[in-house]
Amino acid sequence: MYTQIKRFLFGNPLQSHLEEHERLSIFLGLAVFASDALSSTAYATEEILIALVGTVYAVQANLLSLPVAIAIALLIAIVVTSYRQVIHAYPDGGGAYVVAKDNIGVIPCLIAGAALLLDYILTVAVSISAGVAALTSTGLVSVRISVPLSVFLVFVMTLINLRGVRESGKVIAIPAYTFIASIYIMLALGIWESIHGIAPVSHTIVATASATTTTNLVLNMTLILILLKAFSHGCAALTGIEAVSNGVRAFKEPAPVNANRTMVLMGVILGSMFIGITYLAFAFHIYPNPNETVVSQVARHTFGGSSPMYFVVQVSTMIILVLAANTSYAGFPRLASLLAYDGFLPRQLMNLGDRLVFSNGIILLGLVSGLLIILYQANTNALIPLYAVGVFMSFTLAQAGMVIHHRRHKAKDWQMAIVIKAVGCVATGLVTILLAVEKFAEGAWIVLLAIPLMIFVFLKIYYHYKSIAKQLALPVGAYYPKAIEHTALVLVSSLNRGTIPALEYAKTISEKVEAVHVELNPIATNNLKKAWSEWGSGIPLVILKSPYRSITEPLMEYISEVEGRYEEDLVTIIVPEFVTKKFWHNLLHNQTAIQIKAMLRNSKGKVVTTVRYYLEE
């Protein structure tokens, strides 16, 4: 039944040689890896306006959003250019983690790895929460069901991605390109309306006369701080840019070329959509509204609230925000597999599942992000302050590592590459500090605390694996296996058809066999003694008294006694166990065999084996 359900939900298993066919074209790759970055245009402008409103006049806030958006667009161009060179230098993927590991050191690479893993988790939580917010903005869905709806969508996204990379790409392609097309239609019509005077574009800024130079200086410094705050909030537009470089191997060959082209397309679309939405918010005098997103207001002004295109924009925005989580489902498992391969995460995360995806990583991402949505009640504004710090930390480490890489290898145009990386490193480094300071009290402290804790866990796992490898290493020199004598103890609660195979097995592996029974019920013990003379196979029966009705204590004492009696022998404990045909039948029986095996698991120098008898009904 389990297998049938699994095949229905996830599809039939794929053979390993089909992995190449599961890779993505540029068309599907843009949908899978760029959805996170492109979807950020749905809330990046709003984040700028939220930061500005309340610190300056509303009309000034609206106007100041434009230079802030242009500055962020320039930073997008720098980061995209930088990550294109990362793809060229590290065509096997891994992004900031691999770059930092290769060029800076273990701790920096773990910082990058922890920051990126957190970013992916937060991407799922933020994207799905924002998508549900876009849906509730239409008034068609109640805000009260935001949390359960968000958690359900996490489950759906997890299920889709467990079916395979290419299948998830096919699912996301149509809504992704519908979103891009609808936003460009909205921008084209909105800009046309503003140019032809259909939308009001004049903004009157109230000028305040300054009496002294000191007053001017204070005002200028205040304005700079306000702009920096808005800039840090709007940098949410850059989240997800690094995803393409992390997942280069997900693309069809030539993978680096296709990944680079996807990166350029993503940068152009992201920058133009972000600037366009910010301009229309300025042109239409739009400000943040807790009951309606900025994109919804722009679409309403452009098309009219009852227009079909308004609902196309809203629904496609909602879907792309939800499906933007797909970027994390593509990136998180791959990054986790690299960390696991290097010994910093459990080895289970490096294994491909039936559908040639890192299933364990996908499931882990779904569980953690769903928990995060519940903890933060699907509140996008509460989650976003946690969001961007880790992203820019990884940006900075990646570009710092690439500066060292170019200096070391000195490939063609390496001087120009260093300049680009250095500028990007300084810019993203300053943004990292700004975000950490600006958003510290809003929740960024959680990320700054979580990253060191994650690094601590990474190192503990790493040293555990190193210790295991050292203990399991083969001895130096020739080794000749020794012949081992067994003393077999068969644990018997009663004599029945399920016990006989265990007794027979014991006689095949050793001449020294004993059956051991712990007396809990004198009547049952007497019945066992009566049947033993006929069915006991000539094996001596040892009865252990248990005045406190405990199985474990007398059993462990007797096993220790046998070990002392036969010091050179290996004691083998054989546990008879019957297996029911239906899983719910297990609830009707004592699970004594499981308890005994669990008790003996941590007991050194013993072999514990089970002989099963399968019931037919």
**CATH value of 486-614 in 3.40.50.720, 3.40.50.620, 3.30.499.10, 3.30.1300.10:** 3.40.50.620
> CA 447, CA 115: separation in Å to the nearest integer?
8
> CA 428, CA 436: separation in Å to the nearest integer?
12
Site of tokens 């950490």: 436
pLDDT band at 61 (very low <50, low <70, confident <90, very high): low
Extents of the domains making up the chain: 2-16+24-208+226-465, 486-614
Over 50: is that where the pLDDT of 207 sits?
A: no
The Cβ-side half-sphere exposure at 304, using a 13 Å CA radius, reads 4
CB 373 within 8 A of CB 152: no
pLDDT band at 111 (very low <50, low <70, confident <90, very high): very high
> CA 368, CA 608: separation in Å to the nearest integer?
36
More confident residue, 258 or 355: 258
Write the pLDDT tens digit of every residue in 404-420: 998 888 877 788 888 88
CB 539 within 8 A of CB 548: no
Lowest mean pLDDT among 82-96, 119-133, 150-164, 595-609: 595-609
Q: Which fold has domain 2-16+24-208+226-465?
A: Amino acid/polyamine transporter I (1.20.1740)
Contacts for 25 with CB less than 8 Å, ≥ 6 apart: 251, 252, 258
Backbone angles phi, psi at 137, to 5 degrees: -65, -25
Farthest CA pair distance, the chain: 113
Residue whose C-alpha is closest to residue 273's, from 444, 20, 445, 73 = 73
Residue whose C-alpha is closest to residue 402's, from 114, 101, 33, 110 = 101
Site of tokens 């060959």: 253
Residue whose C-alpha is closest to residue 184's, from 369, 41, 378, 353 = 41
Encoded amino acid at 521, one letter: N
Write the pLDDT tens digit of every residue in 499-520: 889 898 998 888 889 999 988 8
Over 60: is that where the pLDDT of 15 sits?
A: no
More confident residue, 343 or 481: 343
What does the chain come to in residues?
A: 617
CB 331 within 8 A of CB 243: yes
> CA 568, CA 484: separation in Å to the nearest integer?
8
Angle of CA points 352, 355, 359, to nearest 5°: 50
Site of tokens 């807790």: 290
Long-range pairs of 6-9 with CB within 8 A, sequence gap ≥ 24: 6/354, 9/159, 9/162, 9/163
Average pLDDT score over the chain: 82
CB 226 within 8 A of CB 53: no
**pLDDT average, residue stretch 482-508:** 86
> CA 471, CA 488: separation in Å to the nearest integer?
28
Angle of CA points 303, 304, 305, to nearest 5°: 125
pLDDT band at 202 (very low <50, low <70, confident <90, very high): very low
CB 503 within 8 A of CB 490: yes
Angle of CA points 369, 372, 374, to nearest 5°: 115
> CA 565, CA 94: separation in Å to the nearest integer?
57
| Tokens read off for 101 | 């590991």
> CA 558, CA 545: separation in Å to the nearest integer?
11
Peptide bond into 385 cis (omega under 30): no
- Which CA distances in Å does 199 have to 203, 553, 593? 12, 85, 78
More confident residue, 493 or 93: 493
> CA 273, CA 278: separation in Å to the nearest integer?
9
Q: Please give the model's pTM, rounded to 2 decimal places.
A: 0.76
More confident residue, 60 or 153: 153
**pLDDT average, residue stretch 213-240:** 72
**pLDDT average, residue stretch 268-284:** 92
Mutual angle of helices 106-137 and 294-303, in 10-degree steps: 40
Burial of 587 (C-beta count, 10 Å sphere; 0-12/13-18/19+):
exposed
Write the pLDDT tens digit of every residue in 510-569: 888 999 998 888 888 888 888 888 888 788 999 998 877 777 788 888 888 888 887 777
* Percent of the chain with pLDDT strictly greater than 70: 87
Q: Return the pLDDT at 210.
A: 42
Encoded amino acid at 160, one letter: I
Write the pLDDT tens digit of every residue in 444-471: 788 889 999 999 999 999 999 999 888 8
Residue by residue, DSSP assigns 406-434 as HHHH--TTHHHHHHHHHHHHHHHHHHHHH
CB 303 within 8 A of CB 310: yes
| Tokens read off for 306 | 């009852």
Q: Return the pLDDT at 211.
A: 44
